[in-house]
């Protein structure tokens, strides 16, 4: 074969590969499921579990997550959890900033009746079954939030004295 015809065949092969890959991309993209965007929650009280990516983003921004996993909801605990974002607000300059969000998650895949996971980039605390009380949740939040309210200092002083 002549050198010129080899070059023509190579160019033709490259052009076919180029158009073939473009055609394959168009065909495959029509069958692909559209990706769901990772949207940040618009509320600080959620009745579902956030996906891990979004939760990691929120934790890295300084938020604290309170996850309440339950088989049978405790109305007193749910009522208390609903107040947490407001109770643990911080004031930055002349603005109030919420630093916690609550996820209430109905589940059936564990032996425990319910548990609470409180986590931030600083700490993680779990409270299980009969230990789930307003006092224990409050103390866990005081030990976990990035910027605890002043009342948390009183708890730590009382614990160190008592």
Q: Is residue 160 part of a domain?
A: no
Provide the domain count of the chain.
2
Together in a domain, 53 and 125:
yes
H or E element, residue 67: strand 64-70
The length of the chain in residues reads: 162
pLDDT value, residue 30: 76
HSE value, Cβ hemisphere, 13 Å, CA-based, for 68: 24
Tokens of 58: 């929120």
Q: Is residue 122 part of a domain?
A: yes
Q: Which residues pair with 64 in a beta bridge?
A: 100
Together in a domain, 120 and 98:
yes
Q: What is the span of the domain harbouring residue 82?
A: 45-150
Of residues 160 and 101, more confidence is placed in 101
pLDDT value, residue 59: 95
The mean pLDDT value of the chain amounts to 87
Query: Which residue's entry shows tokens 């605890």?
Result: 148
Predicted structure pTM score: 0.71
Residue-wise pLDDT for 71-89, tens only, equals 989 999 999 999 999 999 9
Residue-wise pLDDT for 39-58, tens only, equals 788 899 999 999 999 999 99
Quote the radius of gyration of the chain (alpha carbons, Å). Answer: 27
CATH of the domain at 93: 3.40.30
Q: Is residue 10 part of a domain?
A: yes
Question: From CA 57, how far away is CA 124, in angstroms rounded?
Answer: 16
Q: pLDDT category, 137, cuts 50, 70, 90?
A: very high
151: three-class secondary structure by DSSP: helix
Tell whether the model's pLDDT for residue 20 goes beyond 90. Answer: no
Together in a domain, 30 and 50:
no
**Average pLDDT of span 6-23:** 85
Question: From CA 20, how far away is CA 99, in angstroms rounded?
Answer: 52
Together in a domain, 94 and 16:
no
């Amino acid at each position: 074969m002549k050198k010129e015809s080899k070059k023509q065949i190579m160019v033709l092969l490259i052009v076919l590969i180029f158009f073939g890959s473009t055609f394959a991309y168009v065909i495959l993209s029509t069958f692909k499921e559209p990706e769901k965007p990772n949207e940040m929650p618009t509320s600080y009280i959620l009745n579902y579990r956030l996906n891990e990516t979004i939760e990691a983003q929120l934790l890295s921004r300084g938020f604290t997550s309170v996850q309440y996993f339950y088989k049978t909801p405790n109305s007193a605990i749910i009522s208390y959890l609903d107040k947490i974002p407001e109770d643990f607000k911080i004031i930055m300059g002349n603005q109030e900033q919420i630093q916690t969000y609550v996820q209430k998650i109905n589940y059936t895949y564990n032996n425990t009746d319910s548990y609470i996971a409180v986590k931030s980039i600083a700490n993680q605390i779990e409270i299980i079954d009969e230990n789930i009380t307003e006092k224990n949740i409050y103390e866990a939040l005081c030990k976990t939030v990035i910027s605890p309210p002043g009342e948390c200092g009183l708890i730590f002083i009382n614990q160190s004295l008592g």
